[in-house]
Amino acid sequence: MKAVRPVLDYLKSGGVEYVFGIPAGSVNAFFDELYEMPEIKPVVTKHEGAASYMAAAYAKYSKSLGVCIACSGPGATNLVTGAANAMREHLPVLFLTGAVPVKTEGLNASQELDVSPVFAPVTKYSVSVKSSDSLLEEVAKAVEIALEGVPGPVHVAMPINVQLDVLSVVPELPPFPVHSPAEPSEALVARAAEHLFRSKSGYIFAGQGIRGAERLVLKLAELLGWPVLTTPQAKGMIPSGHPYSAGVFGFAGHEKASELVNGTGGETLLVLGSSLGETATNNWNDNLTKDRYVIQVDIDETVFGRKYEVDLEVKSDVSAFLSALIEKLESYGFEKDEAAVQIRADSGSGEDYNTKNVLLKLQDYLPSSTRYTVDIGEFMSYVIHHMKVKENNTFDINVHFGAMGSGISTAIGSMLAEPGRPVAAITGDGCFFMHGMELLTAKEYNLPILFVVMNNARLGMVYHGHTLQYKRSHARFEQEPVRIAAMAEAMGIRSARVESLDDLTMSMLGSLTGDGPALLEIALVDNNVPPMGDRVKFLSSFGK
């Protein structure tokens, strides 16, 4: 038995269904074994970076280990951005890379690079295996590290000779680890409950760490009668129409949320699953915690006290903490106010052909359960600020790490994780030119994803940023317009191009429905300043 075979047997034992990546010489032994293992399907992408985003999205929505593989040298380095993204989002992804034979190290072998130290800063564990006898052991160790404590990515480099070595003894497969959520201290739950019981008013500040605990967050809000403010990353987790929803605070956030933070009300701030980074806090707004008692709950204890002083730090899974907290509060006599819980109606789109109205009209036509995977561009501000949260977990916005093109691949990973859920990727021409060929990956795997490309023939965020900050924008930030719908058509993918709001109709979207992906190009140059909130004030005041 080749040494690489037990690695695949181990991954199979853990329920791994997909391996994202690109076959090449230094990982061909791994891919060759997949012929005999139909339970694990290779998702062959067009770029290794895209594979890393797919694996991360799959880990997020399948609530399991994502697996990604690339060859040595350039294939491996192309994965690093995705590893950094997974690290920021606490996603358990196993990054496997090939490597040159051990005996050729240092001899300038083809695609030689020691990538273990390259991955070290953006993973929980990175190792290069030098012996076939330790290959399975190291992969199992890496997977355990990925799933234990605060989940995150890990990396194992496998020299091709190590993969191909024939083992004299077939190793016993170690048990596949299961992630155990961190339970809160009973004493800390009691302290939090006692303070909330005494507190006259407060706000719940919810980050992406509330994923899976949304129902409990709303139940707590209804018990306390407190508004819920979400970070941009957490958009999609609290319905826009819920009476206790105060909208998004942070980048492209809402005026109501800013008024609450910057006002004198709310003597307590309960932070759930947010590291309180730049985009979540409107450039680290001091008013967020000023004159407020701060309780912060997170699985990652390193976030406590980074920028803001915290009065009560609770290391815990958010769901576990909220379950215990609500039980405690109910024992104090707190009851849900049923009369207050009435969902408000959402407002519709206007008539002008602009980004806001296009996105709102598109949302009116697509199923309410559609998950929007949102790329990086000026359209992202409009998504955060204007699009409605109609159902749970309907937005995936990567403003935290901000990798252009990641939204395209996230759509693919999301759909493979939850095949029954409609998915629409909202991207821009700049992102599309980076990772747009992954439409072919969606086509080859027959994934019915709608790719919406906002095409303004320029780098929109750069244009508006420079215009606000320097009062000018370089001509080279723009380009000759390209008909992206025609590109999709040339790839054999259904497509349509919109040049006015009247072009966007239910029947037109219906023509894009069917097996496999479709592309909708929105040809629109919107010179309105995007609703970036306090970011606009920061840029426009630059130099004053």
As a residue count, the chain comes to 544
Residues 6+ apart with CB under 8 A from 25: 71, 98, 110, 111, 160
Is the predicted pLDDT of residue 230 greater than 50, yes or no?
yes
CA distance 501 to 214: 35
Crossing angle between the packed helical segments 48-62 and 406-417, to the nearest 10 degrees: 40
Query: What pLDDT score was predicted for residue 541?
Result: 52
List the alpha helices (DSSP H) in 378-525. 378-386, 406-417, 429-435, 438-444, 460-470, 484-490, 506-511
Tokens describing residue 405? 């093109």
Residues 446-459: what's their mean pLDDT?
89
CB atoms under 10 Å from CB of 391, counted, come to 14
What is the per-residue pLDDT across 387-423, written as a single tens digit (0 to 9) for each? Answer: 999 998 999 998 878 888 999 999 999 999 999 999 9
CA distance 261 to 220: 19
CA distance 139 to 154: 9
Residues 6+ apart with CB under 8 A from 204: 217, 220, 221, 224, 226, 227, 228, 229, 270, 272
Query: What pLDDT score was predicted for residue 342?
Result: 47
Is the predicted pLDDT of residue 477 greater than 80, yes or no?
no
Is the predicted pLDDT of residue 475 greater than 80, yes or no?
no
Tokens describing residue 481? 């317009």
Is the predicted pLDDT of residue 447 greater than 50, yes or no?
yes
CA distance 349 to 296: 37
Residues 117-132: what's their mean pLDDT?
97
List the alpha helices (DSSP H) in 237-334. 255-262, 318-331
Query: What pLDDT score was predicted for residue 262?
Result: 96
Instruction: Work out the mean pLDDT of the chain and round it to a whole number.
Output: 92
- Percentage of the chain beyond pLDDT 90 is 82
What is the per-residue pLDDT across 79-100, written as a single tens digit (0 to 9) for each? Answer: 999 999 999 999 999 999 999 9
For the chain, report the end-to-end CA distance as a whole number of angstroms.
69
Residues 207-226: what's their mean pLDDT?
96
The residue written with tokens 């426009």 in the block is: 540
Q: Can you say how many angstroms the Cα of residue 229 is from the centroid of all Cα atoms in its chain?
A: 19
Query: What pLDDT score was predicted for residue 348?
Result: 62
Q: Which has the higher per-residue pLDDT, 11 or 472?
A: 11
Is the predicted pLDDT of residue 277 greater than 80, yes or no?
yes
Q: Give me the sheet containing 494-498, strands edge to edge.
A: 395-397, 371-374, 423-428, 450-455, 518-523, 494-498
Is the predicted pLDDT of residue 363 greater than 90, yes or no?
yes
Is the predicted pLDDT of residue 542 greater than 80, yes or no?
no
Query: What pLDDT score was predicted for residue 345?
Result: 42
Q: What is the DSSP letter of 2?
A: B
CA distance 147 to 90: 10
The pLDDT confidence band at residue 149, using thresholds 50, 70 and 90, is: very high
CA distance 154 to 417: 20
CA distance 314 to 301: 8
Is the predicted pLDDT of residue 13 greater than 50, yes or no?
yes
Query: What pLDDT score was predicted for residue 243?
Result: 93
Query: What pLDDT score was predicted for residue 471?
Result: 76
List the alpha helices (DSSP H) in 287-396. 318-331, 355-365, 378-386
Is the predicted pLDDT of residue 343 greater than 50, yes or no?
no
- Percentage of the chain beyond pLDDT 70 is 93
pLDDT-wise least confident of 172-181, 456-465, 501-510: 456-465
Residues 6+ apart with CB under 8 A from 96: 21, 27, 30, 67, 68, 69, 70, 139, 155, 156, 158
Phi-psi region of 106 (alpha: psi -120 to 50; beta: other; left: phi over 0): left
CA distance 291 to 166: 66
What is the per-residue pLDDT across 247-269, written as a single tens digit (0 to 9) for each? Answer: 999 999 999 999 999 999 999 99
pLDDT-wise least confident of 86-90, 108-112, 312-316, 512-516: 108-112
Contact 72, 112 (CB under 8 A): yes
| Domains within the chain, CATH numbers bracketed | 4-164 (3.40.50.970), 186-340 (3.40.50.1220), 355-540 (3.40.50.970)
